[in-house]
Structures are given as structure tokens and as C-alpha cells.
Structure 1
Amino acid sequence: MYQNARQSITFTEALKKLERYCAYQERCHKEVEDKLKTMKLIPEAREKIILHLLEHNFLNEERFAQNFARGKFRIKKWGKQRILRELNYRGISKYNIKTALKEIPEEDYLETFHDLAERKYATIRNLDKHKKRKKLTDYLLYRGWETHLVFEKVGELIQ
């Protein structure tokens, strides 16, 4: 039978659900708060759950930011600008963002950037030099690489 209204959830059920939610993968405060809002709990219960998660180390914003930065850099090949933008969107503090960006070794960062730029350049089939330049620049900027790096590399690859 189809129910229009959701059944209410008890505090302990919500607590256990959120413990599993945070144990499954690192979460930021914003994700946990959004999840709690969907459970339609009263504000006091939401606060108690967040405090419990913080006290028992299920929720740790610094750890989240560091894992996020490392993961997005290594797996998605994002630049620092994109990572910074995404962490800001998630409400992470400036201090934690700074700490997270230190997780990316400078040597690996530049090596990944050059490798990514050269691979993308090799896939651009357009013959027009200006269109190639625009495509490569847009691609690298969208991925969050710094403008000075992008323009330097594009100038190097496209004469």
C-alpha cells in the first residue's frame, strides 16, 4: 500500500543510521545536516546527533577535507582551484581547506597537470589553432588548474 506521509523515525534509529552513513565514507557537516533534514527530526534531536557524531569521531571536518582533496586530485585530476571551490561550497573552514591543500605534494601536482594537459592536447582533433587553444584552456580551467599554469602550458603546446 502506498503511503503519502513518511513514518516518523525514533532518535536512536536516526542515530544508528547516521553512524552508518558517516562510517561508510567521510562526510562533511553539510551532508549530515542535509541527511538529518530529510528525516524530519526536531532541531534539538539533530543537534544531539551531530554532537554525538563529533564526540565519537564519526564526523571530522579536517579529515573530510584532507580525504576530499587527495581523492579529487588523484582520481579526478582536479586542480587546487576546483578543490577549493568545492570545499567552500560544502562550508569547510578556511583553516581546514588550507590544511587539505597541503596534502597534495607540489611535485605530483605539477606532474599531473603537465600529463593531463598533454593528454588532452593529443585528443583535440580540430585543425584550427585558435579552437585548439580555446578547447584546451577551457578544459584545464574547468578542472580547476591555476590560470598562470594553464596559459603557460597552452602557449607551450600550441605555437
Structure 2
Amino acid sequence: MNNIFTVKEAILKLEHFCAYQERCHAEVVSKLYSLKMSLDEIDFIVVQLIENNFLNESRFACSFARGKHRIKSWGKIRIINELKARHISSVNITLALKEISPEEYEITFEELSERCWRSTQEKNVLKKRKKFCDYMLRRGYESNLVYEKVTQLEKDL
């Protein structure tokens, strides 16, 4: 099969790629490298995608934050780190975090922590506490929230 794409073909392919799901600039550039495009062509294509609104970093960041919080119950720290790994600007990260209301964040945290505490099969309270804290911190919740919650859950034992 012919693996050489013209700029026009690459733009069409990337428009479809971006229309299917929100993408960040890094994903698009990586895809263009895999299509064996030159640096000049990549720059040109990225500009075209931005001008035609197929590529919008703030829209990507907001969509990413909403989705990861609502679907995967990620906390703010994990969302921030994942966005940073995708080279999203701090302005867009701040904008993205505003997509999660404090009420929604608290409800998700409470539900996830209660479920985690109940499902942790551990007789030793210290080990259970460690497993709970590790899990909640891995999900990206702030340590002060996690430690306050584990203290409350232990009192309810």
C-alpha cells in the first residue's frame, strides 16, 4: 500500500481523526509523524486544523477533564498531571478544572471513597487504611481530603 500522503490527503485524514474525538496538539503531531510528513508539512497542517476549528486545545482540555472526572472518577491532581503530560498550557488546565463543579467533585469523591472503603477486604485496620489512601491518591484526589475521609471512616467502624 502507498504510505505517502499528500498534504491534502493528510489534512482530510486528520480532520476525520479530530472530528471523531477531541485531540490535543501532541496527538495530532504524533499522528502526522506516523504518516511520514515533514516538519513544514506538519506545521502547515496543524495551522489548517486550528483555523478550521478541528483542533482546539482549550476545548480538548475541558472535554478531557469532564470525561475523566465523570466516567473514571479521577481527582483534580490526576487530571492536571495527565493534561501536563499532553503539553496543555496552565491557562487551559485552569479553564478545564472549572468544568467540574465543587458539588459534583464532592459527590464523586464521597461515592468513590465509600465504595472503596466497603470493598477493601482487609482485617488489619492499618493495612486497610493504607490500601484506601493509596487508591484514592492514585485516583488523583488531594491528600487532605483523603486523610480527612479515612479518619472519618475509621471512626464509623
TM range (shorter): over 0.9
Letter in 2 for 1:92: I
Query: 1:78-123: per-residue Cα shift (whole Å, max 9, x none)?
Result: 0000000000000000000000001100011011101100001110
Once residues 23 and 3 of structure 2 are traced to their aligned partners in structure 1, the CA distance between those partners, rounded to angstroms, is: 25
1:155 aligns to what? 151
Once residues 42 and 114 of structure 1 are traced to their aligned partners in structure 2, the CA distance between those partners, rounded to angstroms, is: 49
- 1:125: Cα distance to partner? 1.3
2:11 aligns to what? 15
2:57 aligns to what? 61
1:96 aligns to what? 92
Secondary structure in structure 2 of the residue aligned to 1:7: coil
Q: 1:26 aligns with which of 22, 34, 49?
A: 22
Q: 2:111 aligns with which of 86, 110, 115?
A: 115
Number of equivalences: 155
1:133 aligns to what? 129
Q: Let me know the Cα RMSD of the aligned residues.
A: 1.0
1:41 aligns to what? 37
Once residues 129 and 158 of structure 1 are traced to their aligned partners in structure 2, the CA distance between those partners, rounded to angstroms, is: 8
Q: Which structure 1 residue ranges, 4+ long, deviate > 6 Å from structure 2?
A: none
> Normalised by the size of structure 1, how large is the TM-score?
0.95
> Normalised by the size of structure 2, how large is the TM-score?
0.96
Once residues 28 and 7 of structure 1 are traced to their aligned partners in structure 2, the CA distance between those partners, rounded to angstroms, is: 24
Which runs of 5 or more structure 1 residues have no equivalent in the other structure?
Answer: none
| 8 Å contact from structure 2 (residues 3, 35) kept in 1 | no
Percentage of matched positions with identical amino acids = 51
